Amino acid sequence: MQLSSFHTLPVAEVEKFLYSCCGSHHWVSGVMAHFPFTSEKVLIHQAEKCWYEVCGQEDWLEAFTQHPKIGDVESLTKKFAATQHLAGREQAGVNEASREVIEALAAANQAYESRFGFIFIVFATGKSASEMLRLLQDRLKNSRDEEIHIAMGEQHKITVLRLKKLLPDADWNWLPVSQITTHVLDTSSGSPARDLSIRLQHQNKKQLWETFCQGVTNADGRIADLLPPSRVLPPGIYQIVFETGAYFAAHRTKGFYPEVLIQFEVPDAQHYHVPLLLNPFGYSTYRGS
């Protein structure tokens, strides 16, 4: 379906489709205020503007409740029955979820809901069961306020993906990737640093650093989807925290730096790539492309 065909649908049906993309009534009514949309860019812009500038915590929590709860072993086993195709260059079978990982995911899901009062929201596309588990365990360490803002960002990634699926015949080539990306290379082994946790932070009103995006590097050592597509950060100073101590400990290597913190300035809407060249006793960084 293209946007022109979407415009011919009854309003009630359009609202139903939008609600399936993001389960917040306030969000749907805000987006519908601009219907019909003059282009896909306008649709994405209004979807983002309404979510970040019009909706609030109550609306975000409403949308979270519309996701299916995955908290038992049986449902998780079905979800990750065969994720080998996500791994790209990995050997066959490496990415199949083990019983141990499935049980740990189920327990972590329950712990997450008990701690924060809402289910774990994550943009799961392209992530294996082990990556999901690592993310879940990392995010359990956050404050509730941090988690709400991380989860609302993950929800918007899901929303954009569902809008694209809603209009599969539209041209989405214009849609940019995350404004902030990173790539970590372990120079001691000459390979990408896989499964390294990172946090993207900004300063809150009290001038304290606060996490609002979180991720784990993939098999290529990259995180390409920290922010939702087209989301532009307000100009300011940001920092990425690389959890290097945990990474080297997992590889049974003694490292010197428990964390690496890289601060950088985002003055405009350009794409900013923040690579890290890492070894147990040193690191370097630069602005990449």
Q: Per residue in 140-191, pLDDT tens? A: 999 999 999 999 999 999 999 999 999 999 999 999 989 999 999 999 999 9
The answer to whether 119 and 69 are in contact (CB under 8 A) is yes
Orientation of helix 11-21 relative to helix 25-32, angle to 10°: 130
CA distance 104 to 110: 10
Q: Does domain 180-285 have CATH number 2.60.40.180?
A: yes
Going by their DSSP bridges, the two strands 209-216 and 236-242 should be labelled as: unpaired
β-bridge partners, 241: 199, 261
Q: How confident is the model at residue 132 (pLDDT cuts 50, 70, 90)?
A: confident
DSSP result, 110-159: HHHHHHHSS------TT--HHHHHHHHHHHTTS-HHHHHHHHHHHHHHHH
Query: Among residues 68, 56, 55, 9, which one has the least CA distance to residue 29?
Result: 55
What pLDDT is recorded for position 88? 36
C-alpha dist (Å) from residue 69 to 88, 106, 117, 201, 203: 28, 10, 13, 28, 32
Domain at 68-142+151-161, CATH from 1.10.3330.10, 3.40.1500.10, 3.90.700.10, 3.30.43.10: 1.10.3330.10
- Determine which of 14-28, 40-54, 79-93, 259-273 has the lowest per-residue pLDDT on average: 79-93
Q: How confident is the model at residue 85 (pLDDT cuts 50, 70, 90)?
A: very low
pLDDT in tens, 194-223: 999 999 999 998 999 999 999 999 999 999
CA distance 188 to 144: 37
What pLDDT is recorded for position 72? 65
Domain ranges of the chain: 3-63, 68-142+151-161, 180-285
Instruction: State mean pLDDT over 38-58.
Output: 97
Per-residue pLDDT at 261 exceeds 60: yes
